[in-house]
């Protein structure tokens, strides 16, 4: 007996095909290079920028309107508690964003969140200096809230004009904390932000 050949080149397969097996699909569906941009991406970006500006405006408004002078000579314990707590929260959020950048996680927008957290830390230190300036012998030549922001930025930039100076023990403790905070957290945050922006620009150039 001669075995009957099955599955020859010219015989139809079980599904009515030509027996050659399924070939590559040549449909007109979108490929990886023709992938359309999600319809809500532009709206989401605009909403993110609007929320960023709203948050920044809220921080500036709170800094200008809150009774910060009451935390100085009247309630020093409450002032220190609020300052340390908020600064710790900002530090944790910065570390969270740094981790997301280093591990390529994209749950949030580091390009927006990191600058906001840096600005928030600046206003926290400015509020601390302004509160301490209400105590005699703590901060020399610091009279207004704008003076406090100016001194915080000057200290952050390590310029040191000398027109405003912490002369009291509490003010010098805050200045030491700001120096250490800037070296550890703000330096790491700005480095992570630069890495994120470089990767974002490279991806846009490739796209």
pLDDT, tens digit, 9 for 90 and up, residues 31-71: 444 444 444 455 767 887 888 889 999 999 999 999 998 88
pLDDT, tens digit, 9 for 90 and up, residues 107-127: 567 777 888 888 999 999 999
For residue 206, pLDDT beyond 50 = yes
- CATH architecture assigned to 66-206: Orthogonal Bundle (1.10)
What DSSP state is assigned to residue 16?
Answer: S
Average pLDDT on 160-172 reads: 92
For residue 10, pLDDT beyond 50 = no
For the residues of 19-79, what is the DSSP string, one character each? SS-----------STTPPPPTTHHHHHHHHHHHHHHHHHHHHHHHHHS-GGGGTTT-HHHH
CA-closest candidate to residue 177, choices 155, 207, 201: 155
Q: Whole-model pTM above 0.75?
A: no
Average pLDDT on 66-85 reads: 88
Please check whether residue 200 is in contact with residue 111, taking contact to mean a CB–CB distance below 8 angstroms: yes
pLDDT of residue 207: 58
For residue 178, pLDDT beyond 70 = yes
Please check whether residue 129 is in contact with residue 173, taking contact to mean a CB–CB distance below 8 angstroms: no
Neighbouring CB atoms inside 10 A of 129's CB total 27
Please check whether residue 83 is in contact with residue 120, taking contact to mean a CB–CB distance below 8 angstroms: no
pLDDT of residue 189: 83
Distances (CA, A) of 195 to 93, 101, 108, 120, 181: 18, 8, 15, 21, 20
For residue 180, give every residue at least 6 positions away whose Cβ sits within 8 Å of its Cβ, in sequence order, or none: none
Average pLDDT on 170-181 reads: 95
Q: Classify burial at 40, counting beta carbons within 10 Å of its beta carbon; exposed 0-12, middle 13-18, buried 19 or more.
A: exposed
pLDDT of residue 187: 84
- What confidence category does residue 11 fall into, taking pLDDT thresholds of 50, 70 and 90? very low
pLDDT of residue 44: 63
75 versus 155: which is more confidently predicted?
A: 155
pLDDT of residue 107: 58
Q: How far apart are the first and last CA of the chain?
A: 64
CA dihedral 81→83→89→93, nearest 10 degrees, is: -170
| Distance, C-alpha 143 to centroid of its chain | 31
For residue 105, pLDDT beyond 50 = yes
- What confidence category does residue 24 fall into, taking pLDDT thresholds of 50, 70 and 90? very low
Residue the block writes with tokens 């009515």: 16
């Amino acid at each position: 007996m001669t075995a009957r050949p099955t599955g020859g080149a010219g015989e139809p397969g079980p599904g009515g095909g030509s027996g050659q097996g399924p070939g590559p699909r040549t449909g007109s569906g979108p490929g990886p290079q023709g992938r359309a941009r999600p319809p809500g991406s532009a709206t989401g970006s605009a909403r993110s920028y609007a929320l960023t500006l709203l948050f920044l405006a809220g921080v500036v408004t709170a800094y200008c309107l809150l009774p910060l002078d009451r935390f100085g000579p009247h309630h020093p314990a409450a002032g220190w508690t609020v300052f340390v707590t908020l600064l710790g929260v900002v530090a944790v959020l910065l570390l969270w964003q740094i981790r997301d950048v280093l591990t390529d996680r994209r749950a949030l927008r580091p390009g927006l969140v990191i600058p906001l957290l840096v600005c928030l830390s600046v206003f926290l230190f400015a509020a601390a200096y302004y509160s301490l300036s209400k105590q005699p012998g703590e901060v020399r030549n610091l009279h207004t809230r704008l003076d406090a922001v100016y001194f915080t930025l000057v200290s952050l930039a390590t310029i040191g004009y000398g027109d405003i100076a912490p002369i009291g023990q509490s003010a010098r403790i805050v200045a030491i904390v700001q120096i250490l905070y800037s070296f550890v957290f703000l330096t790491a945050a700005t480095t992570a932000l630069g890495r994120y922006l470089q990767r974002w620009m490279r991806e846009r150039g490739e796209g």
